[in-house]
Amino acid sequence: MKSFRTPLALITSFVALPAVVWAQSAPTTLQALAQSAATILNDGAVLLITASVAVYFYSIAGNIFKMSRGEASGDDLKKTLYWGIVIIFAMVSIWGIIQVLQYSLFGGPPPAATNGVVVY
């Protein structure tokens, strides 16, 4: 039972961390609220894409292991490779579309400062 508590606490801390960080500074305008929500969703998207890539490689390794034992054919591996790449491409594309909308609707990224001069 001890081995179950540690991963559960770790997962709970990663889920609660964005809410704690977001609660530290309350937004005062609707635009600030929308940007805060977009930041939280962006962080969640990064987490989901990272998890999906890890699951993708795990399933590829599992299919290769099954093929080496003769339990599966090469068609299972081909399907996993094909659909995994399609799904990861779709997730990254949707993430990019959301960022384009965020930058175009909410004023874009903050301006970069170089040597005291603000570049727009």
- 119, 113 in Cβ contact below 8 A? yes
Q: Which residues pair with 113 in a beta bridge?
A: 118
| Stretches in the chain below the pLDDT threshold 70 | 1-24, 106-120
Q: Which of 47, 97, 44 is nearest to 55 (CA)?
A: 47
CA distance readout (Å), 37 to 12, 30, 91, 102: 20, 10, 19, 11
The pLDDT score that the predictor gives to residue 26 is 80
- pTM exceeds 0.85 for this model: no
Tokens standing for residue 21: 């960080």
The predicted structure's pLDDT at residue 56: 92
Q: What is the pLDDT of residue 76?
A: 82
Per 3-state DSSP, what percentage of the chain is helix, strand, and coil (rounded to 5)? 80, 5, 15
